[in-house]
Amino acid sequence: MAEPLWFLAKRSAAAAMICITFTDIVGNFATIQGNSMQPTLQQGHKDFISLLKGDVVFYEKISAPAYKYCRGDVVVLRSPTDPDQLMVKRLIAMQGDWVNVPGSHEIHQIPKGRCWVEGDNGNLSLDSRNFGPAW
């Protein structure tokens, strides 16, 4: 009886190490929480895995540093207000671009290494309109 348990424990540990390596190096999944990206991405639909709700996006890490981002891309980034949380937003402007802040008469130039992101549902989105250019 102890031998099958030991075999299961070894297999489980190996699977856990593979999963951790995969999420650290290759990519990971993010579930959509909130309504900020509606109608493009939805929250609240039951997935085939009952623990996941809403649309799920896969963000890939290997080629991300070399990827040429374009305005209009949907991106995953760390929240500037809570670095433990990820946000899914649309890339509106990149470094050097000028942005007219919606709802005001302010015009800002995006600093080097930063970008301007917004949710598709502007009325319900916490984004660059609230916290300024993102990293």
Domain ranges of the chain: 2-131
Q: Which residues of the chain have pLDDT under 50?
A: 50
Q: For the whole model, what pTM was predicted?
A: 0.70
Per-residue confidence (pLDDT) for residue 61, from 0 to 100? 78
Q: Which amino acid is at 96?
A: G
CATH topology of domain 2-131: Umud Fragment, subunit A (2.10.109)
| CA–CA dist 25, 78 (Å, integer) | 17
Residue 86 near residue 57 (C-beta atoms within 8 A)? no
Structural contact between residues 54 and 33, judged by C-beta atoms closer than 8 angstroms: yes
Residues with catalytic roles: 36, 89
- Residue 10's nearest CA partner among 2, 64, 96 is 2
DSSP H helices in 1-135: 2-21, 128-131
Distance CA 78, CA 101 (A): 21
Nearby residues of 109 by Cβ (< 8 Å), 6 or more positions away = 96, 97, 98, 99
CA torsion through residues 74, 80, 82, 83, sign: positive
Model pLDDT, residue 109: 92
In the prediction, which pLDDT does 50 show? 46
